[in-house]
C-alpha cells in the first residue's frame, strides 16, 4: 500500500495534479499488474510499456488529466494525457507523458517533446517480500518537467543481421535531473549496484 509518509509534498507537480491522485493511481497500477507478472519474465520491455499504459488509464480516471481522445496522438505521439479543458493541442505545461521503467534513473522516449513526465519505477518481487499479494511494486514515482534541450539522441543499433533497438531519445544526466523529483518513494527499497531491491533491514547506503 502506498503510504502517505512516502510522498513528498514539496515536489512540483503539473498544474492541478494532486498527490492523492498519484496515490490512487499507484494502487490501481499495482493491482492490475498482479496477474501479469509472468509477462515480465518473457518480455520485460513490453511490460514496462504496459506499466506506463496503466499509469495513463489510472490518472485519466482519478485526476484532472485525461487521455487524448485522438487515438493516433495518444498512441504514437505526445502527450499521453492533457489537463482537462486544455484543448486538442495542449501547451507543454498542460501535457503529461506516462512511462514505466524498471531502471532507477533512465528516461527514454521516441520523441524529445517538452512537457511533464511521470515515471512509474517498478520492481518485480515474486516472493512478495515487500507486500503480500503484490508481486509487482511501484517503489518510486518521478515527476519532472523536461525541455527539449534535456534530451539527447540515441541512434539505432538495429541492423540487417537482426537485433538491436530502434532510435530513441534519452535524458541527459538523468540522475542529476531527477534529484528532488520523486513525488513518491518507498522507504523500504534501496538501490544496490544500480538496481532497486527490498531493504529487508539492510541499513547500508545506496550505491
Spell out the per-residue pLDDT of the chain, length 207, in tens.
Answer: 799 999 999 999 999 999 999 999 999 999 999 999 999 999 888 999 999 999 999 999 999 999 977 655 544 567 999 999 998 889 999 999 999 999 999 999 988 999 999 999 999 999 999 999 999 999 999 999 999 999 999 886 655 554 445 668 999 999 999 999 999 999 999 999 999 998 874 544 443
Q: For the beta carbon of residue 197, count every other beta carbon within 10 angstroms.
A: 16
Sole residue written with cell 549496484: 193
Domains (range + CATH), the chain: 4-198 (3.40.600)
**Contacts for 43 with CB less than 8 Å, ≥ 6 apart:** none
| Ramachandran angles phi, psi of 131, nearest 5° | -150, 130
Pairing of strands 95-101, 189-192: unpaired
3-state secondary structure of 92: helix
Using CA atoms, how far apart are residues 100 and 157, in angstroms rounded to an integer?
Answer: 22
Amino acid at each position: 500500500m502506498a503510504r502517505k509518509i512516502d510522498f513528498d509534498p514539496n515536489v512540483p507537480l503539473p498544474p492541478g495534479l494532486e498527490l492523492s491522485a498519484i496515490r490512487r493511481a499507484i494502487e490501481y497500477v499495482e493491482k492490475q499488474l498482479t496477474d501479469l507478472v509472468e509477462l515480465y519474465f518473457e518480455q520485460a520491455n513490453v511490460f514496462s510499456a504496459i506499466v506506463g499504459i496503466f499509469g495513463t488509464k489510472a490518472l485519466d480516471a482519478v485526476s484532472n488529466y485525461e487521455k487524448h481522445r485522438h487515438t493516433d496522438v495518444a498512441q504514437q505521439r505526445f502527450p499521453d494525457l492533457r489537463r482537462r479543458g486544455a484543448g486538442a493541442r495542449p501547451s507543454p505545461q498542460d501535457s503529461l507523458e506516462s512511462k514505466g521503467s524498471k531502471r532507477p534513473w533512465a528516461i527514454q522516449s521516441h520523441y524529445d517533446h517538452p512537457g511533464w513526465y511521470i515515471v512509474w519505477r517498478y520492481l518485480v518481487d515474486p516472493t512478495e517480500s515487500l507486500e503480500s499479494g503484490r508481486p509487482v511494486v511501484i517503489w518510486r514515482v518521478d515527476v519532472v518537467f523536461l525541455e527539449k534541450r534535456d534530451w539527447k539522441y540515441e541512434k539505432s543499433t538495429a541492423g540487417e543481421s537482426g537485433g538491436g533497438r530502434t532510435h530513441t531519445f534519452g535524458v541527459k544526466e538523468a540522475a542529476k535531473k531527477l534529484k528532488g523529483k520523486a513525488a513518491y518513494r518507498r522507504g523500504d527499497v534501496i538501490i544496490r549496484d544500480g538496481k532497486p531491491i527490498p531493504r529487508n533491514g539492510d541499513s547500508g547506503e545506496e550505491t
